[in-house]
């Protein structure tokens, strides 16, 4: 097994803004995000439109991210609105500015619009005597200045802070949970099903289930050599993660060995075939423009389409010679 005494034990926070899109929309209307039943829907005019976010009160009725508009009960106390991405980005930026009062940019990692990591190992004690007191302070400031409620996972590394957030902090009344290396056997290993663990998706879960692995504890104790032989490099990563080990650092800049350029776009409604062609043309034109700006050529082209039911179609092809012209790619 692993010797945790040889690993760096830092104070990493993983912070999530609860039901972010829905909460921002509530605050804009002067409503309490924790009491109001509100859903942000991609297109309120289409009954099959996807719910992008729902407040905690609406989630209690079974409506959550990924639900459909037609599933939402027709009630006067339920608000259904379209998204306001510009406003969501403004609030996210405001929260980032609050956080940067306490850490330098290199100690902040934005994981998504509503979730980020902070390394406060060398800074929290300048503001509070304990780590939990610092977290309480941060939660309070964000709430007072934006109206958004937060939950914070505390861990010895980024992985432990993330799974502490997902599996405990989000259901705690104070929004806090702390998982250290010493908690791995009692907390990390008890996680099941496997897909409740960050980084393990359904397909990987099915592969592991076929090997008799149903809990993170079983994954942690499964021979690493067998995981590597059966799953490749990902098997080694899974074994490390199941044992609470993550050696990634926020302030390390990743250098790609095989540079690639990409562009993606999330569509807020169902698109027809011809509409999709227009979007593809626009994306290709932008990528080709970036290639020309860098004086680079590309030979391998790949693309993928994701459908509202979760299905993804991906294709890839290689040109005979490199190009940076969109007419050669499209």
pLDDT of the residue at 256: 52
Q: How far is CA 275 from the centre of its chain?
A: 28
pLDDT of the residue at 211: 94
pLDDT of the residue at 330: 74
pLDDT digits (tens, 9 = 90+) for 177-213: 999 999 999 999 999 999 999 989 999 999 999 999 9
> pLDDT band at 258, cuts 50/70/90?
low
Of 55 and 282, the structure prediction assigns the larger pLDDT to 55
The mean pLDDT value for 51-58 works out to: 96
Report for 147-151, 231-235, 252-256: range of highest mean pLDDT: 147-151
Residue 226 has pLDDT above 70, yes or no: yes
pLDDT of the residue at 219: 98
pLDDT of the residue at 129: 93
Side-chain half-sphere CA neighbours of 224 within 13 A: 12
Choose among 65, 58, 16, 42: nearest CA to 198. 16
CA distance 245 to 184: 10
Residue 34 has pLDDT above 60, yes or no: yes
Of 277 and 103, the structure prediction assigns the larger pLDDT to 103
> pLDDT band at 57, cuts 50/70/90?
very high
Residues 184, 247 contacting (CB under 8 angstroms): no
SS (H, E, C) the chain: CCCHHHCCCCCEEEEEECCHHHHHHHHHCCCCCCCCEEEEECCCCCCCCEEEEECHHHHCCCCCCCCEHHHCCCCCCEEEECCCHHHHHHHHHHHHHHHCCCCCHHHEEEEECCEEEEECCCCHHHCCCCHHHHHHHHHHHHHHHHCCCEEEEEECCHHHHHHHHHHCHHHCCCCEEEECHHHHHHHHCCCCCHHHCCCCCHHHHHHHHCCCCCCHHHHHHCCHHHHHHHHCHHHHHHHHHHCCCCCCCCCCCCCCCCCCCCCCCCCCCCCCHHHHHHHHHHHHHHHHHHHHHCCCCEEEEEEEEECCCCCEEEEEEEEEEEECCHHHHC
Residues 33, 147 contacting (CB under 8 angstroms): yes
CA distance 181 to 160: 8
Residue 263 has pLDDT above 90, yes or no: no
pLDDT of the residue at 257: 54
Q: How far is CA 15 from the centre of its chain?
A: 11
Assess whether the previous peptide bond of 147 is cis (omega < 30° from 0): no
The mean pLDDT value for 151-164 works out to: 98
pLDDT digits (tens, 9 = 90+) for 69-103: 999 999 999 999 999 999 999 999 999 999 999 99
Backbone angles phi, psi at 173, to 5 degrees: -65, -35
Q: Tell me, yes or no, if the pTM score tops 0.85.
A: no
Residue of 35, 115, 144, 275 marked active site:
115
Residue 165 has pLDDT above 90, yes or no: yes
Annotation marks residue 115 as catalytic? yes
CA distance 324 to 191: 48
pLDDT digits (tens, 9 = 90+) for 97-144: 999 999 999 999 999 999 999 999 999 999 999 999 999 999 999 999
Domains of the chain (ranges plus CATH)?
Answer: 4-18+87-185 (3.30.70.270), 20-84 (3.40.1170.60), 191-243 (1.10.150.20), 273-328 (3.30.1490.100)
């Amino acid at each position: 097994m692993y010797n945790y005494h040889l690993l760096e034990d830092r104070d990493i926070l993983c912070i999530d803004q609860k039901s972010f899109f829905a909460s921002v929309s509530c605050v804009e209307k002067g409503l309490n995000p924790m009491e109001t039943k509100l859903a942000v829907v991609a297109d309120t005019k289409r009954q099959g439109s996807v719910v992008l976010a729902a407040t905690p009160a609406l989630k209690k009725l079974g409506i959550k991210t990924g639900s459909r508009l037609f599933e939402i009960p027709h009630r006067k106390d339920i608000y259904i609105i379209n998204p306001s991405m510009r406003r969501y980005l403004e609030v996210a930026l405001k929260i980032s500015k609050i956080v940067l009062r306490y850490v330098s940019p290199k100690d902040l990692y934005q994981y998504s619009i509503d979730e980020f990591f902070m390394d406060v190992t060398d800074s929290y004690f300048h503001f509070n005597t304990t780590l939990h007191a610092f977290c309480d302070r941060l939660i309070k400031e964000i709430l007072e200045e934006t109206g958004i409620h937060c939950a914070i996972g505390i861990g010895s590394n980024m992985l432990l802070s993330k799974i502490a957030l997902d599996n405990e902090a989000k259901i705690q009344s104070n929004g806090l949970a702390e998982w250290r290396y010493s908690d791995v056997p009692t907390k990390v290993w008890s996680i099941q099903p496997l897909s409740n663990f960050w980084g393990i998706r359904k397909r990987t879960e099915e592969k592991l289930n076929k090997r008799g692995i149903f809990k993170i504890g079983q994954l942690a104790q499964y021979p690493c050599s067998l995981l590597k032989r059966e799953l490749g490099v990902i098997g080694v990563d899974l074994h490390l993660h199941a044992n609470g080990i993550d050696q990634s650092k926020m302030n390390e800049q990743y250098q790609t060995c095989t540079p690639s350029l990409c562009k993606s776009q999330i569509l807020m409604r169902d698109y027809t075939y011809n509409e999709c062609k227009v979007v593809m043309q626009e994306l290709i034109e932008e990528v080709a423009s970036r290639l020309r700006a860098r004086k680079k050529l590309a030979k391998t082209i790949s693309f993928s389409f994701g459908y509202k039911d979760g299905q993804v179609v991906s294709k890839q092809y290689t040109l005979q010679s490199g190009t940076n012209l969109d007419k050669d790619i499209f």
